[in-house]
Structure 1
Amino acid sequence: MDQVFTQQAPGAQPPTVRPRLASIDYLRGIVMVVMALDHTRDYFSNARADLMNTATLLSQGDAALFLTRWITHFCAPVFVFLAGTSAYLACKRGKTRAQTAAFLATRGVWLVVLELTLVHFGWEFDFDFHFEVLQVIWAIGCSMIVLAGLVFLPLWAIAAFGLALICGHNLFDAVRPESLGPWGGLWTVLHRPGLIQPVPGVRAFVAYPLVPWIGVMATGYVFGQVMLLENALRRRWLLVLGSALTAAFVVLRATNLYGDPHPWTLQKDWLWTIFSFLNCEKYPPSLLYLLMTLGPALLLLALLEKETSPVSRVFVLFGRVPLFYYLLHLPLIHGLSLAVAVARYGPRALSFGEQGNSVPTDAGFALPVVYLIWLGIVLLLFPLCAWFADIKRRRRDPWLSYL
């Protein structure tokens, strides 16, 4: 018979069901709001640079745009890490390993389906699925499917597996998919961003290769143990772990020995040298990228433990309905951008970017306007998320755990 992870002595009382930890929802809510900034910039900014990697901005000298892009680097690692933590905490609330595994597997498949359908529609506003971009929801879904198998292992084994993927995957940065023949597509899925053709007539761009993200979720799952410690001890552990990861980033990055394919270099002044130092690879996330983001995130989590202001309750609410928020914010941002474009340029704006209808050079807005639009979008999302959070609070329908 399946048992909860910690064995109980004969005659012992069942473990007390622990309340949901607001600090986790608080941090998750913060990264969800920051994520909306990145996507608002995608659709409303007048910047013409390719911002898939902030290295582009180092050559252009736009500090504000660099920092706007860089701060959003925290979103995906924190969200994936906390997804693993939440899975562990759900198990400790009374689920068996088999129940946890079944939920992770089915929710993982569901997330992949959402990436290929509703998320695709939110980005593109079409149902032509001959070209897909596999991004963070796909990575979370696939990581959950893998974690569904890992939960049957001892926690030390899960930790070793996750850390091996995070710390070791940069050893294979030089391996190119084309050098692997028929296995090149699999290598693209696992390690190196690029195009694949899973079936004839369908192409996909793998923006989030899986190996490091699987490691992040696995270590997040083991980290769940820390979140079950007594409050004062938990805060000490968060401060120690966060400081250690951040210090490891600084030391490894300073040496340029290992952990990121792009060494930092001296720039025109001290500010841009710092930016070069911070400019770590996201696609896929390097070891240094993950240390740079997860270390400060754990320090922030320690600070959020005692935060109970009205502002905190807004972020906590967003953090309790993250997938609902995600599925809403993409079509909202995209739809508003189209409405603004049509208001400025007329119906031809609906076909900007197509052959013979290029985007006007004056399209988009400067960063201050982008920030105002972002705040407006967050305000529009709040009542909808509050409505759905109230439904989840009052009802226990199984389908609600999948949204």
Structure 2
Amino acid sequence: MELGNRTEEPLIKSTTLTDRRLPELDAARGLIMMLMALDHTMELVCRKGFFEFWAMCVPDYGSLQAFFTRFITHTCAPGFALIMGAGMVFFATSRRSVGWEEARIIRHYWIRALVLVVIMLTLENFVWQQAFPSRPDSPVVSLEFGVLFSLAGSMALGSFLLKAPDGALAGIGLTLALTTQWIITSRLGSPEPMSGVSLPLMFSFVPSGIRTPTLGIFVLYPVLPWFVFTLFGMILARRIQADRPGTGKVLPLAGSALIAAFVLLRTTGGFGNTHPVKGSGIMAFLALNKYPPSLAYMLLFSGVNLLIISSFSRAGHFWARKDNPLQVFGKCPFFFYILHLFFFLAVGKLFPAPPGYWGGYACWATGLSALYWPCRAFVKLKARSSPDSIIHLF
């Protein structure tokens, strides 16, 4: 994350910008990458996966351990989008300072978005199709649009809003969040909620798919619900840049307020809860719809991500060393993302599934240890390269 005039002060005390990085956000992103790898280890190696889909019942997690292993990874997708939005603002500011015009900044982000989509449709789709082979009656070509698609779309759209006022960003984000929930709630009220989902609606708001003998398209991460988090991140970056009075106190308070709003919404039920609380206990209360994110999900994990960022900004700088795994993974998220998919795919193909969740945790920790070294080498390569080098697209 690019920010400058870095001292040993917390995140919110930085006031001027150059072309250096903000360790607090890199560390938060590194933690998110590590949690994401846990989720994918469970899917690719242990064959333990859950699917919180809007048109399906809440999954039967079976145990608190299974539930919380999945639940903590819900932090990841919102965190990706939020920190990406912040990074876009910091990057644009640093590039304007060296003479880049807005058209060049927009072009840069559209190229990066295109790279994300190409990698998703080739390398990432290959991994998931190898992990879960097609059935005999599957389409000849299957295209799956996952988290990289939502990030690419959010990046492309966000590039046009880099100079928009905070109020406009907040208004767009709130409108998209409410619209997503309204569309999903309306469709759940029909006898066949997944019928008649058009391609534009599928790519924008409603996870769904189409299937013919020759082509299958499945969109798990439509752009606009996740764009809400990117807009939130852009506003956050503006606050950090401006260093407005009380920002240091507001960040944890804002995170806590969002979580409190989640608790209120979940307790009262109704609009905003795609899947209402059924039964008693912590699992029933926290079983949220992710695909697409419900309002309850958005509130909770926006708050959690703010608290994570705030914690890193206040926890001292033992984690800010350049060779700390949080920093290493946080500085090469795209490289880590693709590398970890292939790594855990290979482990899942070559070795039997480890016993239980504890075996999965051991596999995850071992995998992170192995991935650390190529990621560290890649970070060093990026640091030595020109700011205009193609390597920075990755």
Is 1:376 the counterpart of 2:366? The answer is yes
The equivalent position to 1:365 in structure 2, one of 349, 355, 371, is 355
> Residue in 1 aligned with 2:214?
201
Percent identical residues: 28
The within-5 A match list for 1:4-403 is 16-17=17-18, 19-45=20-46, 47=48, 51-53=50-52, 59=60, 61-95=62-96, 96-125=101-130, 130-176=141-187, 184-196=198-210, 201-230=214-243, 233-267=246-280, 273-306=281-314, 307-309=316-318, 313-341=324-352, 365-396=355-386, 397-403=388-394
Cα-to-partner distance string for 1:326-385 (whole Å, 9 max, x where unaligned)? 0100010001111114xxxxxxxxxxxxxxxxxxxxx65310000000001100110001
> Residue in 1 aligned with 2:10?
none
Give SS of 2:274's match.
coil
In our comparison, the structure showing a higher alpha carbon Rg is 1
Q: CA deviation at 1:18?
A: 5.7
Q: Is the 8 A contact 2:319 2:327 kept in 1?
A: no
Flag the 1:244–1:398 CA change in 2: closer, same or farther, 3 A.
same
Give SS of 1:305's match.
helix
CA distance in 2, matches of 1:158, 1:283: 23
CA distance in 1, matches of 2:268, 2:193: 30
Flag the 1:314–1:233 CA change in 2: closer, same or farther, 3 A.
farther
CA distance in 2, matches of 1:279, 1:82: 24
CA distance in 1, matches of 2:157, 2:227: 7
Cα RMSD (Å): 2.8
Q: For structure 2, which runs of at least 5 residues remain unmatched after alignment?
A: 1-15
Q: For structure 1, which runs of at least 5 residues remain unmatched after alignment?
A: 1-14, 268-272, 342-362
The number of equivalent residue pairs is: 360
Give SS of 1:203's match.
strand
CA distance in 2, matches of 1:228, 1:129: 50
* Residue type of the alignment partner of 2:205: H
Q: CA deviation at 1:231?
A: 9.6
CA distance in 2, matches of 1:69, 1:99: 40
CA distance in 2, matches of 1:19, 1:302: 20
* Residue type of the alignment partner of 1:115: M
Give SS of 1:45's match.
coil
Q: TM-score, normalised by structure 1?
A: 0.82
Q: CA deviation at 1:57?
A: 7.7
CA distance in 2, matches of 1:81, 1:315: 17
Flag the 1:97–1:163 CA change in 2: closer, same or farther, 3 A.
farther
* Residue type of the alignment partner of 2:220: A
Cα-to-partner distance string for 1:109-162 (whole Å, 9 max, x where unaligned)? 111111101111232349997102211011101111111223353332122112
Structure 1 residue ranges, 4+ long, deviating more than 3 angstroms after superposition:
54-61, 125-129, 152-155, 174-183, 229-234
CA distance in 1, matches of 2:61, 2:391: 46
Flag the 1:201–1:91 CA change in 2: closer, same or farther, 3 A.
same
CA distance in 1, matches of 2:81, 2:47: 30
CA distance in 2, matches of 1:278, 1:182: 30
CA distance in 1, matches of 2:260, 2:226: 22
Flag the 1:280–1:154 CA change in 2: closer, same or farther, 3 A.
same
Q: Is the 8 A contact 2:45 2:345 kept in 1?
A: no
Q: TM-score, normalised by structure 2?
A: 0.83
